[in-house]
Structure 1
Amino acid sequence: MNHIRTASAPHLAAMLAGLTLPMAAAPALADFIEDSHAKIELRNHYLNRDFRQSNAPQAKADEWAQGFTTKIESGFTEGTVGFGVDAMGQLGIKLDSSRDRRGTGLLPYGRNSLEPDDDYSELGLTAKLRASKSVLRLGTLQPLLPVVVYNDTRLLASTFQGGLLTSQELDGLTFNGGRLTKTNLRDSSSRDDIGYGAATSDAFDFAGGSWAINPQLALSYYYGKLEDIYRQQFVGLVHTWPLAEGLSLRSDIRYFDSREDGAERAGRIDNRNFNGMFTLGVGAHKFSTNFQQQSGDSAFPFLNGGDPYVVNLVTYNTFTRAGLDSWQVRYDYDFAALGVPGLSFMTRYTDGRHAKTATVDNGREWERDTDIAYVVQSGPLKNVSLRWRNVTFRSGNGLTNAVDENRLIVGYTLALW
């Protein structure tokens, strides 16, 4: 088994030891214990990726693995400043793979041997402090913010190391700010320097927030800087318009402006990304149309270990190459309307054109996804989820990638207390 690596554990242990000294009195610990909870998430993931292009380095990637994620979250001690601690342990186990079928993102593999690891793991600790309506977290983080989104699309989720302050002191306004210094990728046991592509940085600093003007309308702004690599600004708007009983229109508009920073370790970065999603809900049906328009000479940048916060991020592709403009149509249906609660269906088609690379001037990419999911509603398997994802991806006009893919995912979450 790989060793569990916790580079910051000694520092956190010392911090937590200091924090727990004043908590000897039982009353102060009451909320710390009573508000705590723990759960274990099980995910069985099979992924088969068939490379259809003639020049592919391998014919297919085909792996099957079992993941376990345990999360323990404490409450806060009583007092003006409350203290708490969270812990997360992740373990991935190989069920089937080989060196000629590696590379699905489920399992790490040896740099020289190319053999997939039998297992891999991570332990994360987070100290937290609460004062009034503000919470500071230090340690392992999984942020979901426009400028940094952790990845949870394979066996285990990625994590970051650093600090995050979340404040809701003013009604309707949520502020987030912090610094990240390390990342743990979704298929890795190691903590690496934060970075973008092959370039690494000392830190990623970010700040911003959202303002709920009313229950239907929210505005947001964020700024992020990956030191000596890129700086990025985000402006967003989300609006929900109830049209009639069972009928609503949701608009989600996002704009990013990304430029190089400092020493430009990843080269010149020049990208503007304007994207949006419009969803019409009609009872159990949802009809969505998305657009994503990019300008500038480079691809849309986002952190290693994360995902881009764009509407045309789909199952296989991100549609964030330089110059790539894309659109999407999507349909969702909830079978509860037909008396089958727990069963849902999604299909979408995404088309991108005008991609620019060092050798291509007008590349094209398209992807078709189908997703069928069911959550068992009763009996001994209650709350077990089953999901089948089917993907077809093709590119052209100089881009030469072609993939057929299937994913089968079985999940279950068990509350420990």
Structure 2
Amino acid sequence: MPETGKKLLAWVALAAGIGVLAGLASALLIVALNWANATRESHHWLLAGLPLAGFAVGWLYWRYGGRAAGGNNLILEEIHTPTEAVPLRMAPLVLLGTVLTHLFGGSAGREGTAVQMGASLADWLAGLFGQKQMRRVALMAGIAGGFGGVFGTPWTGAIFGVEVLAVGWVGWNSVLEGLGPCLIASFAGDLTVHLMGVHHTEYHIGAAPALVPIHWVWAAVAGVVFGLIARLFSTLHHGLSHLFKKMLAYPPMRPLVGGTLVALLIWGLRAWQFAGLGVPGILASFDGQQPWWVWAAKLGLTALTLGAGFKGGEVTPLFFMGAAAGSTMAGLVPLSVGVLAAMGFAAVFSAAANTPLAGVVMAMELFGGRVGALAGLACVTAYLFSGPVGIYSSQLPIMVRWKMWMEKK
């Protein structure tokens, strides 16, 4: 077999292996979080343990985390400028930290955990098979496998793996380097989750809307609102993180104090629906109009939880915020509650992550063509109005990323 063919075969096998590992990790994460959320909902008193759980998570990362504490941003930095391997201990640490966050009532997601597990396992596998020179692409495949597996959206996972690197649309360098491996890893991750018998949440939107001009106009208008919500979340999240680091030099104290505040707010306001993932709140937004403050409450509690140093992700809470904000508009916008919730679901995520194309593809995968088309316009509009601030501080402007890629050629 020619040398080129051998390399291609090796990369197909490696990408598939990365996807399988990411899928196994995602399946474990979904099962663990389902247990954690169900247990907490049956035993509200667990919320009282959130401060101590936060201290435990903070101490583990302070004592044993090392570079793994960099989380998603460390992975992006290693793709931009590879230096040394992503620590394999990132996977068990972030899994344990995320389960503790959800079990005791922190408001967080799961995408960050799946991505970190997928990428750290991908880096380990690439080193094991002597592919260290291709670490960047392996890490991209790990991101794709984790995202596609945990949400059941393989096309979105592949696009997310190449788009999340830079702000300002997808760079052709990322597409040329990583789209193939990301597709293989994302579909392998999703298939693995299904073969493990783990199921994803299904969203029901009712009748699909007609694609008439007025609906396109309202999709763009709604997109502006979704973009501003995404910008508010990213700004508040980063601001609170900076404040906790400035006020509390000892890292374990940050989630202890933050966990105390989150627990007091949830308990005092009886706001149990905002603890954990908030999947019931997302489903409720598809079924009926929500009060305006619902999305704002989830936004504030999630920014406080993650800003204090708890582990998890931002994306599922962003789904919650977007779906709730969309359903709130049902009395003003001539579209159904389900369609508006679907638009917000995809648009707030894509704007906050600076991944509009992934948001468009996700809307198509989850909600079908006609809803996806309107949601796609909302995603692009939201992205344009969310500004350069996003949830991943290590994303690079697209021209900087392109220049770095050219210099490596």
Which category of TM-score, normalised to the shorter sequence, fits these structures?
under 0.3
TM-score, length basis structure 1: 0.24
Query: Quick check: which one's strand share is greater?
Result: 1
* The structure with more radius of gyration: 1
TM-score, length basis structure 2: 0.25
Query: Quick check: which one's helix share is greater?
Result: 2
